[in-house]
Chains A and B, each alone.
Chain A
Amino acid sequence: MVFFLDITDASRGAALLTLVRDFWPLWATAALGCAGIYGLLPQARTSKPIWAGFGVAAAILLAGLWFVRQDGVWPEQVLFYAFSFLAVVGGILMLAQSNPVHAALSFALVVLNVCGLFLLLAAPFLMAATLIIYAGAIVVTFLFVIMLAQQAGLASADARSREPFLASLAGFVLLGALWCALDKTYNLTPVLRELDLVASAKSLDEVAKLWSEPAAKPGARTLPALDRLKNALPRELEYDVPELEKAWAKQDLPALTKAAARLRDQAAKLKLGALKPRDRDAPVEAPVTAQNVAGLGRTLFTRYLVPVELAGVLLLVATIGAIAIAGRRGEGLR
């Protein structure tokens, strides 16, 4: 709670500006996307503007270009692109459609493609379960409800949105923040670039210019740039940064370049975020691939037994609750 209170702290504002400046592609993409969504939302006009569609399309394209990398296994790439593109498009369509039936069908499209992504992530049972429950049960139920409740098809309320601009703004802020957080954690490219520059520096002045910040003094114990470096690197490499600090404090260029090069190579080898099928972490109960159902079953009924029982109770309670709430006739209709 305390850190909220120094909202007038100038360094907080400067940090925000730095964040926007460093990750401007993400913010730009998010802005484009949310502006497009704002245009596409159902509002009281005859047809949707063209620029909104273009904006959304551009956003998706840029996201595809910037966030997902080029090299890699081709089938996986293509499938990932296809499924995620269709999922996002389905989501946008769900927002844009005035007709509730069309919107529900778009939701079914989203579920379909998310299940495709599940399959790519080696979760076949979940794919099937989600498909059956969501696209099969929930969406159909809601379609029935819409059909019975809104037999005219389109009510006047469906053609309007509540607070489109503010909602898009909220979406933009949240999306930008989330993407920035993700990029800071999993994207080491800027850090690697910086370490590369330090490793290939010819003199201490270059390094000083690179790391120069207003408060830095040569020979200072903690350099702000090194602190930033330490925060940006993943946990495993944190302990190698003090070497850099010591070299800088001693103003020793060879040691500095050697330490920076070593750090860069270790970070490059790290393959942050790589999805490995096995032996990444602590021992698992069952491998993740083809024996997914058996493994899932074993895990559910040994390690997560109590939550399973509780989920059963929850289902029972929900059923009884739903009947109790809705079983009552309204006043005057008895």
Chain B
Amino acid sequence: MSPVNLQSYLIVGAALFVLGMVGFLTRRNLILMFLSAEMMLQGVALNLVAFSRYHGNLGGQVLTLFIVTVAACEAAIALALILMLYRRRKSLDVSLWQELREPELEPIVDEAPLPPAPLPEPMPHLTVAGPEPMHPAEETSHV
């Protein structure tokens, strides 16, 4: 019906936003949670730039620039906080922090054991590097 239009870009933006949201809700590493939030911001930035192109003025792009700025500040503060949290528990797992729950509830711990890690592949046996060792005279055969 029509070529790549505003709706297409908005659809992609929406997909990115939702992916970021699912990542934020799911991943347990603090860093990855933050990166998922950044992906949400990417989706929003895409929307804004698409609208800027649709309306023909630069308002969307300016807002995107500000979003990038604020994302940078946010990254700085987030890292500082992650640092503090890491110092306490020596881990980047967000599930360790459950102290604000209701007093009667039990803390949620991981129960299902992880599958055993795959054995490291044996290192291939390569020949020793260096000059060729001396062969005994009678063993050499070049026929």
Contact = CB atoms under 8 A, between A and B. Distances in A.
Interface of A: 33-34, 37, 41-42, 44-46, 63, 67-69, 71-73, 76-77, 80, 84, 87-88, 91-92, 94-95, 100, 103-104, 107, 110-111, 114, 117-118, 121-123, 125-126, 129-130, 133-134, 137-139, 141-142, 145-146, 149-150, 155-164, 166-168, 170-171, 174-175, 178-179, 182-183, 185-187, 189, 271-282, 284-286, 288, 292, 295-296, 299-300, 304, 307, 311, 314-315, 317-319, 321-323, 325-326, 330, 333
A182 B7 contact: yes
A80 B66 CA distance: 25
A157 B29 contact: yes
Interface string B21-34: 11101111101101
A63 B36 CA distance: 22
Contacts of B88: 330
B18 A171 contact: yes
B1 A88 contact: no
Interface in B50-88: 50, 52-59, 61-62, 64-66, 68-77, 79-84, 86-88
B83 A326 contact: yes
A299 B19 contact: no
Contacts of A139: 35
Contacts of A141: 75, 79
A314 B32 contact: no
Given A164-B26, A178-B14, A280-B56, 12 more contacts: A73-B4, A84-B8, A121-B49, A121-B53, A123-B61, A138-B38, A155-B92, A175-B15, A288-B58, A295-B58, A296-B65, A299-B59
Chain A interface main SS type = helix
A88 B15 contact: yes
B8 A126 contact: no
Contacts of B115: 44-46
Interface stretch (B39-47, B119-127, B131-139): B39-47
Interface in B72-131: 72-77, 79-84, 86-88, 91-95, 110, 112-115
Most chain-B CB neighbours within 10 Å: which of A67, A69, A139, A275? A275
Contacts, number: 308
Contacts of A185: 7
B2 to A, nearest CB: 6
Nearest to A286: B58
Given A123-B49, A160-B110, A104 B62 contact: no
Nearest to B8: A68
A129 B114 CA distance: 41
B53 to A, nearest CB: 5
B14 A175 contact: yes
B29 to A, nearest CB: 5
Contacts of A288: 52-53, 56-58
B46 A114 contact: yes
B72 A138 contact: yes
* Of A272, A277, A318, A330, most B-chain CB atoms within 10 Å: A318
